[in-house]
Amino acid sequence: MSLFNQGDKAYLLLADGQIFEGRSFGAKGTVIGEVVFTTGLTGYQETLTDPSYYGQIVTQTFPLIGNYGVNDSDYESAKSYVSGYIVREWCNTPSNFRMEGNVNDFLLKHNIIGIHNIDTRRLTRTIREVGVMNGVITTEDVYSKKSELLEKINAYEIKDAVKKVTNSETLTYSDDNPKYKVALFDFGYKRNIRNELVKRGCKVVVVPANTTANEIKKIAPDGIMFSNGPGDPSENTEIIENIKEIAKLDISIFGICLGHQLMALANGARTEKLKYGHRGANQPVIDVLSGRTYVTSQNHGYAVVGDSLDSSVGLVSHINANDKTCEGIRYKNIKAFTVQFHPEAHGGPLDTAYLFDEFIKTMDKEAK
């Protein structure tokens, strides 16, 4: 039987009133979220477990999802944070020696509502032309409730996202005989960030998002990592004020994604919401100093406005080759550098992993 014939009817309703009819997979019910798209050909399990997708309904542009199944080893966090999931076709006969289930099993386990058998190309073109917009996935009759649902869609906002995904506990991870101690701020961090640090000889102390400079002093780390995370960076006013004080501790800092944005805001720059964001494993980024272009993995809807940063404070180090937005900053008066993309995600596949090595070297200098 064709995969497109499986499942009960499901509907996607967008804020502009468009309705896409498809088939249900995963959980049943109704969910509201911000509809975005990601262009990755692989890595769907990592996408589904990335906390940066909190509050969003994720569309996969690649037409076949699930062909290598899912497993318990490739989670980027303990659970899924997406609001809903949209694919053209999901594979119910995956094949891979590491698989422990299929994508439908995963959605059911995490109570995620999905829809398949819709025209994801048309949906993606709509988002590219109009910009990201809110929407609803429902397995109920959308036509009889359209007006009611549109009211809810238009009222929906992603608020307090970092507070919703951060862990309230301090947790420590390490291999034997670590050489460095790194405080990793959990703004919604991906496990591979932690793994990249541990395999380079770091004892990683994962701290809650609202950890203060005084609390960091007590931990006495050799380096500080500001992680990725969801939502509008500018709403995190308490964290931004904390970062201002943390930057005065004279400890090496490396920021990724949301961490990059928060660091910029703490240093007087501003951020803006992009029309449809950068989400996928194939975003080209130019290193301004070397002129070299790297293949990067990204997941963000906001960007730092590069020319809003005082040049006496820091300089844009990387730019997006497509739209020229800021992709990295090197600071002048503090020991910090940040990037918008994800070096731990192995885009390229190892193009930008050198940034972790560079972070280690900054701590090496401090040890001498």
Residues classed as catalytic? 257, 342, 344
- Phi, psi (5° rounding) for residue 64? -120, 120
- Give the whole-angstrom CA distance, residue 298 versus residue 275: 15
Dihedral, CA atoms, 297, 301, 304, 308, nearest 10 degrees? 150
* SS3 sequence of 178-244: CCEEEEEEECCCCHHHHHHHHCCCEEEEEEECCCCHHHHHHHCCCEEEECCCCCCHHHCHHHHHHHH
